[in-house]
Structure 1
Amino acid sequence: MVVMGVAGSGKTTVATILANTYRADFIDAQDLHTPSNRRRLSQGIALTDHDREPWIAAVSERIGSGTRASRPLVIACSALKRTYRDRLRESGPAVFVHLVGERWQIVDRLGPVTQQRLLAPLLESQFAALEPLADDEEGFAVRVTAPVSEVVSEVVRRLAETPVPMKSKRITL
């Protein structure tokens, strides 16, 4: 399962809880960026597709390793573009859970003003690059306006109710 969305949408928090719920390994794709990309991101500098190439390859490798070892994985990964998600799916089966919120909701979630200022350019570039799940992609969207426990409960419910493979569906909490 790949929990996707822009910075500040709650990917890491939701994915960590889901990994514990399903007794799956957790991977924060942020940790798989190259050192230079991590420096850029920490400065609020948006990455290009070229910058993201080694990162997507590393995330894909983790999915492939988990698939080969029959280990369930929950990955927190922005997966903003269809091309990134297609690359990830090439490595093994993946269901995408898109955490969706309006810009102002995400900014509100970011907290302190300094953090907002630092992430504002990065967040704008991510919203500009974001390609929501298409109807032919496996997964669904969940709005992040509810408390985290409700978001997680909705994901668990949707996964239990929907036979795999599933088609992309959007929901509102």
Structure 2
Amino acid sequence: MAQPDAGTSLIIMGVSSTGKSVVGAQLATQLGAKFIDGDDLHPKANILKMASGQALNDDDRAPWLERIRDVVFSVEQKNEVAVVVCSALKRAYRDQIREGNGQVRFLHLHGDFELIAQRMQARKGHFMPLSLLENQYNTLELPGAEEADVTAIGVEVPLAQVVKRCVDAVR
């Protein structure tokens, strides 16, 4: 299988419950890449805020996005390959991650609201409540043609097919 260039970070983006963590982990395994779940990089205050049903704002997300950007920078400097999970809902967030990083690509996992809401309701052990899903869809700025480093990946198919779509997109 063709491997991404050394120093590349693949950001698995999208709203909550699109399968970012599961797809990202499987993609990393298939590519022999490092896997980094961006949820683990949230400051404690953000986790507590989301767990209480409050949406994060841009100020809340700023230090988290800085951590993501720094991880991507580290991967590039060490000539590693990483799959990083990060919602990256707004263009400004994606731009912040791109800042100072030349080898970053985004795979945008997406599906319609009803499908993702069903998946979120079936989910166990996550701090993001269903009440915040609508906020995430409202916050999402769909990548346009000017963001050539973003590839859209539909999640309406079984997990194995979503991972295959990601592998094919990386090749």
Q: What TM-score does the superposition give when structure 1 sets the normalisation length?
A: 0.86
Alignment partner for residue 14 of structure 1, among 11, 23, 48? 23
Residue 134 (structure 2) aligns with? 124
1:5 equivalent in alignment to 2:14: yes
What is the distance in 2 between the residues matched to 1:95 and 1:50?
Answer: 24
1:158 equivalent in alignment to 2:169: yes
RMSD of aligned Cα (Å): 1.8
Amino acid in the other structure paired with 1:47:
L
Amino acid in the other structure paired with 1:128:
N
What is the distance in 2 between the residues matched to 1:5 and 1:65?
Answer: 23
Query: Percent identity over the alignment?
Result: 35
Amino acid in the other structure paired with 2:145:
D
Q: 1:142 to 1:46 in 2, by over 3 A?
A: same
Alignment partner for residue 94 of structure 1, among 96, 104, 120? 104
Which one has more relative contact order, counting CA pairs under 8 Å at least 6 apart? 2
**CA deviation digits over 1:105-146, x for unaligned, max 9?**
001112349989x62221111100001112121021111110
What is the distance in 2 between the residues matched to 1:114 and 1:16?
Answer: 18
Q: Is the 8 A contact 1:100 1:144 kept in 2?
A: yes
In the TM superposition, 1:29-108 aligns within 5 A as: 29-92=38-101, 93-108=103-118
Q: What TM-score does the superposition give when structure 2 sets the normalisation length?
A: 0.87
SS for the counterpart of 2:108 is: strand
User: Going by fraction, where is helix more abundant, 1 or 2?
Assistant: 1
